[in-house]
Chain A
């Protein structure tokens, strides 16, 4: 069944079962592989996108619910990787293997939209994604730096 989606400011047409999770629509039907599959049960957050500005775990979000909303994926976080989060993620060597980091960045970006000067507790609550490599302490530090940048 054909559905129109608005993704990163562009309209894309998708012909898929309306129950297909948005994660797989993005990755397989649209070839947008920046959003990652980690668990499929919304535990890990690797699949995090923004839907109308809110962080959503797309592995549990059906296609039919996504129609009519503004979807932002990691590919659309900034036009040229200039979001302060992206800048500090690189400068501070935050990622190791990097697989969880699309979701980490999208969760962090949603946090900073809602809480421009987050406390450690805010960060822990909003950015509770799983990272197996152990980048948590750097993620937290980079979010604080980006928040300070964005405030200035």
Chain B
């Protein structure tokens, strides 16, 4: 009659029932018989071992466990939506929560094996692998509930409907809520795992865009960010690290502040004190290295901050102070690209022969520069740690829970099974909170004041000056142009400090269309520490390349849009031409503009790794106005993109708006100066951020560039790379002035 189901008692489910009636779908047994095989798409169907992603409670609450941190990109909501599509619980009863890093460690990486080093990372969070995982687990739970109902009602499971938390059988008039069937469903073992829905069967995904689950708490001020953690007995620490990175603490006069109101202690951090462990973190511990520092601990933050400002401290700056000025560093980076770089990133054909053949008149060469930039999340760096003899609790607005957890274990020497990481909400990530150097500093301070929770807060100035920056980068591009004006050979050189990102030059379409390329990189011994800033490497190289392509078009006497259409027609990924055609049509490209106005275009791809039909391509057109005395106004922005396919249109639109604004500020405003090895700028009066008034009323996001290639790629980082060169190219049209360095506000744009 109905499908054969095995009814069996399973030990772990009996245990979980004893814990209060919850059915845990996808838990490995509490016993040590954990199967280490990764849960991935290929293994999903036909397996009877689940991973602990989903719990259904007796009251119908559905706990969805997420590893990826939601930094405002809507991860938690999207994972809930995947579950909802297959399981159909009551939407409001879906409760996303973060998967425990402690449990992950104890149970042989049960949560981090699918996804590896990036499992707990705040990006790449809702793509096809995760979609399949959550839909599979949800479908399995649904079928087990149906099987339980089928047995109870003596009807075929195929006749049972599941909707909004209720199972019904029309023929017999039976119905039950999830909670009523949990005990029975927990004992079901399916003969065969159900397939997940095809895209064509979706009733919710791609059709409804629910508001993000955390919004109700945001709008009444009750969402808890890292800096909002309040634990019993908590004290506060104000932190100051060596002003020159790599410097050492020379002396500190603690007695000078110990009697100030509320002050409890003055502690120091010396990275040399850390005893390395043999833990295996997702990224090398080196990226989380601490700096020499002092911290004042007090009952209240303002007391700590006031005392810190009064604290006599002397530093031994170290060799970083030899970099005395911004100009000196810029010159060093620019000098480095005037000869062959140490590392060859790509080499095809014979670039020098092509250049010789082309002759000087058909050669174009330019140097470009992008400065150190700070991600400037609006929540200053912070964290809270309680270190005792046999346990560490650590609350942190991390972008990578597992990295922060491992760093806490490494810094305290506490075995990871005794470390408990509590992921909070995050007041902006943008890459700053991945390397977990901030996590290490918090724990390093807190372990010097054990037994009470210590919340360490960076002032805005300290956050700005102790960054892990978008690297200072110089870029040289040189091309020979053929009779049709298009490039025939390309030399590209990049230079930056240790760890700078080369992404976006050797691995982009232009370099792979051409048959004669030479791409090199060179490391310059800068001391300033760097890290991922929204679209790392790409956010500089897209500027270098798309400004250069524009210069080639101008030299060839060809409209910059037509030039790119011709150029990228040679690339097998149709998304490039499609996105360009879309913004060309939607932006009004070609319509005559009054003097002082101009349009510019840029197109680039984040994540393609040199291959067609990969990554996300974005084409942006900017229309600007420049007054005669050089004041820039952004009149219109049009963005088209190809990420293959999308699910949540509103969430995608949000990321493209936000990423465009982020890249716009990066290009127009952001740049840090160095004086005697120190970062100069401290707060938003010196490091300007655009406001609402600086923008047109809309960022026009267009969906006609989508290729429908079956990839659902990332969307947060791609838009940051193209808006800058689009604006720069527009400024050229408006003023005749060519911008080759960021930030644009340093340039004199006046014209006559």
CB pair A99 B684 closer than 8 Å: no
Mark A99-133 against chain B: 1 for CB-CB distance below 8 A, else 0: 11110010000000000000010011101111111
> Measured between alpha carbons, how far is A67 from B650 in the docked complex, in Å?
44
Mark B46-80 against chain A: 1 for CB-CB distance below 8 A, else 0: 00000000000000000000000001110000000
Q: Which residues in A have their C-beta under 8 angstroms from that of B427?
A: 36, 97-100
CB pair B215 A97 closer than 8 Å: no
Q: Which residues in B have their C-beta under 8 angstroms from that of A89?
A: 215, 218-219
> Measured between alpha carbons, how far is A101 from B72 in the docked complex, in Å?
12
**Nearest neighbor of A139 in chain B, beta-carbon distance:** B692
Q: Which residues in A have their C-beta under 8 angstroms from that of B689?
A: 44, 130, 132
Q: Which residues in B have their C-beta under 8 angstroms from that of A124?
A: 691-693
CB pair A96 B72 closer than 8 Å: yes
A71 in the interface, Cβ–Cβ < 8 Å? no
A68 in the interface, Cβ–Cβ < 8 Å? no
Whole-angstrom distance between the Cβ of B263 and the nearest chain A Cβ:
13
Of the listed stretches B130-138, B468-476, B580-588, B654-662, chain A binds B654-662
CB pair A39 B684 closer than 8 Å: yes
CB pair B300 A16 closer than 8 Å: yes
> Measured between alpha carbons, how far is A34 from B697 in the docked complex, in Å?
28
Contact of A134 among B211, B230, B660 (CB under 8 A): B660
Instruction: Decide: A37 near B227, CB < 8 A? Known: A77-B220, A93-B650, A132-B430.
Output: yes
Contact of B230 among A31, A99, A136 (CB under 8 A): A31
B448 in the interface, Cβ–Cβ < 8 Å? no
Instruction: Decide: A74 near B221, CB < 8 A? Known: A24-B300, A100-B378.
Output: yes
B685 in the interface, Cβ–Cβ < 8 Å? yes
> Measured between alpha carbons, how far is A100 from B661 in the docked complex, in Å?
15
A148 in the interface, Cβ–Cβ < 8 Å? no
Q: Which residues in A have their C-beta under 8 angstroms from that of B650?
A: 93
> Measured between alpha carbons, how far is A46 from B376 in the docked complex, in Å?
14
Q: Which residues in A have their C-beta under 8 angstroms from that of B380?
A: 37-38
Q: Which residues in B have their C-beta under 8 angstroms from that of A38?
A: 378-380, 460
CB pair A125 B300 closer than 8 Å: no
A10 in the interface, Cβ–Cβ < 8 Å? no
Q: Which residues in B have their C-beta under 8 angstroms from that of A36?
A: 225, 227, 378-379, 427
Mark B292-305 against chain A: 1 for CB-CB distance below 8 A, else 0: 00000000111100
CB pair B214 A98 closer than 8 Å: yes
Q: Which residues in A have their C-beta under 8 angstroms from that of B303?
A: 17
> Measured between alpha carbons, how far is A95 from B654 in the docked complex, in Å?
9
CB pair B428 A133 closer than 8 Å: yes
CB pair B230 A90 closer than 8 Å: no
Whole-angstrom distance between the Cβ of B457 and the nearest chain A Cβ:
8
Instruction: Decide: A96 near B378, CB < 8 A? Known: A36-B427, A40-B683.
Output: no
Whole-angstrom distance between the Cβ of B130 and the nearest chain A Cβ:
20
CB pair B378 A34 closer than 8 Å: no
Instruction: Decide: A33 near B230, CB < 8 A? Known: A130-B691, A134-B660, A140-B697.
Output: yes
Number of chain B residues close to chain A: CB under 8 A: 60
> Measured between alpha carbons, how far is A120 from B695 in the docked complex, in Å?
11
**Nearest neighbor of B660 in chain A, beta-carbon distance:** A134
Mark B458-474 against chain A: 1 for CB-CB distance below 8 A, else 0: 01100000000000000
Q: Which residues in B have their C-beta under 8 angstroms from that of A98?
A: 72, 214-215, 218, 223, 425, 427
> Measured between alpha carbons, how far is A64 from B460 in the docked complex, in Å?
24
Q: Which residues in B have their C-beta under 8 angstroms from that of A134?
A: 657-662
Contact of B459 among A29, A40, A46 (CB under 8 A): A40
Q: Which residues in A have their C-beta under 8 angstroms from that of B218?
A: 89, 95, 98, 101-102
Question: Taking each of B215, B221, B685, B697, which has the highest tally of chain A beta carbons within 10 Å of its own beta carbon?
Answer: B221
Q: Which residues in B have their C-beta under 8 angstroms from that of A28?
A: 236, 300-302
CB pair A29 B300 closer than 8 Å: yes
Q: Which residues in A have their C-beta under 8 angstroms from that of B693?
A: 124-125, 128
CB pair B211 A93 closer than 8 Å: yes
Q: Which residues in A have their C-beta under 8 angstroms from that of B414?
A: none
Determine the main DSSP class of B at the interface with A. loop
CB pair A132 B378 closer than 8 Å: yes
> Measured between alpha carbons, how far is A103 from B648 in the docked complex, in Å?
28
**Nearest neighbor of A98 in chain B, beta-carbon distance:** B218
A58 in the interface, Cβ–Cβ < 8 Å? no
> Measured between alpha carbons, how far is A77 from B221 in the docked complex, in Å?
10
| Range for the number of chain A residues in contact with chain B | 35 or more
Whole-angstrom distance between the Cβ of B636 and the nearest chain A Cβ:
13
**Nearest neighbor of A120 in chain B, beta-carbon distance:** B697
Contact of B378 among A40, A46, A81 (CB under 8 A): A46
A150 in the interface, Cβ–Cβ < 8 Å? no
Contact of B377 among A34, A95, A132 (CB under 8 A): A132
> Measured between alpha carbons, how far is A43 from B313 in the docked complex, in Å?
28
Q: Which residues in B have their C-beta under 8 angstroms from that of A101?
A: 218-219
Q: Which residues in B have their C-beta under 8 angstroms from that of A127?
A: 692
Mark B676-719 against chain A: 1 for CB-CB distance below 8 A, else 0: 00000001110001011101011100000000000000000000
Mark B200-214 against chain A: 1 for CB-CB distance below 8 A, else 0: 000000000101101
Instruction: Decide: A35 near B221, CB < 8 A? Known: A93-B654, A97-B72, A132-B428.
Output: yes
> Measured between alpha carbons, how far is A138 from B218 in the docked complex, in Å?
15
CB pair B212 A136 closer than 8 Å: no
CB pair B699 A137 closer than 8 Å: yes
CB pair A93 B209 closer than 8 Å: yes
**Nearest neighbor of A126 in chain B, beta-carbon distance:** B692
A70 in the interface, Cβ–Cβ < 8 Å? no
> Measured between alpha carbons, how far is A91 from B459 in the docked complex, in Å?
34
A4 in the interface, Cβ–Cβ < 8 Å? no
Q: Which residues in A have their C-beta under 8 angstroms from that of B660?
A: 134
B552 in the interface, Cβ–Cβ < 8 Å? no
CB pair B684 A130 closer than 8 Å: yes
CB pair A24 B301 closer than 8 Å: yes
> Measured between alpha carbons, how far is A97 from B223 in the docked complex, in Å?
10
Q: Which residues in B have their C-beta under 8 angstroms from that of A129?
A: 691
Question: Taking each of B209, B219, B427, B662, which has the highest tally of chain A beta carbons within 10 Å of its own beta carbon?
Answer: B219
Q: Which residues in B have their C-beta under 8 angstroms from that of A16?
A: 300, 302
Instruction: Decide: A81 near B211, CB < 8 A? Known: A39-B684, A73-B221, A99-B378.
Output: no
Q: Which residues in B have their C-beta under 8 angstroms from that of A102?
A: 218, 221
Instruction: Decide: A33 near B428, CB < 8 A? Known: A137-B697, A137-B699.
Output: no
B314 in the interface, Cβ–Cβ < 8 Å? no
CB pair B378 A33 closer than 8 Å: no
Q: Which residues in B have their C-beta under 8 angstroms from that of A131?
A: 378
CB pair A34 B692 closer than 8 Å: no
A135 in the interface, Cβ–Cβ < 8 Å? yes
B222 in the interface, Cβ–Cβ < 8 Å? yes
CB pair B216 A133 closer than 8 Å: no
B228 in the interface, Cβ–Cβ < 8 Å? yes
CB pair B691 A34 closer than 8 Å: no
A6 in the interface, Cβ–Cβ < 8 Å? no
B312 in the interface, Cβ–Cβ < 8 Å? no
Whole-angstrom distance between the Cβ of A136 and the nearest chain B Cβ:
4
CB pair B225 A39 closer than 8 Å: no
> Measured between alpha carbons, how far is A41 from B228 in the docked complex, in Å?
20
B569 in the interface, Cβ–Cβ < 8 Å? no
B426 in the interface, Cβ–Cβ < 8 Å? yes
Q: Given contacts A36-B427, A135-B658, list 20 more A-B pairs with CB under 8 A.
A: A20-B300, A37-B457, A44-B689, A73-B221, A86-B219, A93-B650, A95-B219, A96-B658, A97-B377, A97-B379, A97-B427, A99-B225, A99-B377, A99-B427, A101-B219, A102-B218, A132-B430, A133-B72, A136-B661, A137-B698
Nearest first, the 3 A-B pairs at minimum CB distance are A34-B221, A99-B427, A134-B661
> What are some 25 contacts across the A-B interface (CB < 8 A)?
A20-B302, A21-B302, A28-B300, A28-B301, A37-B227, A37-B380, A39-B460, A73-B221, A75-B222, A90-B211, A93-B650, A95-B219, A96-B73, A97-B377, A97-B378, A98-B215, A98-B425, A101-B218, A124-B692, A132-B376, A132-B428, A133-B658, A134-B660, A136-B661, A137-B699
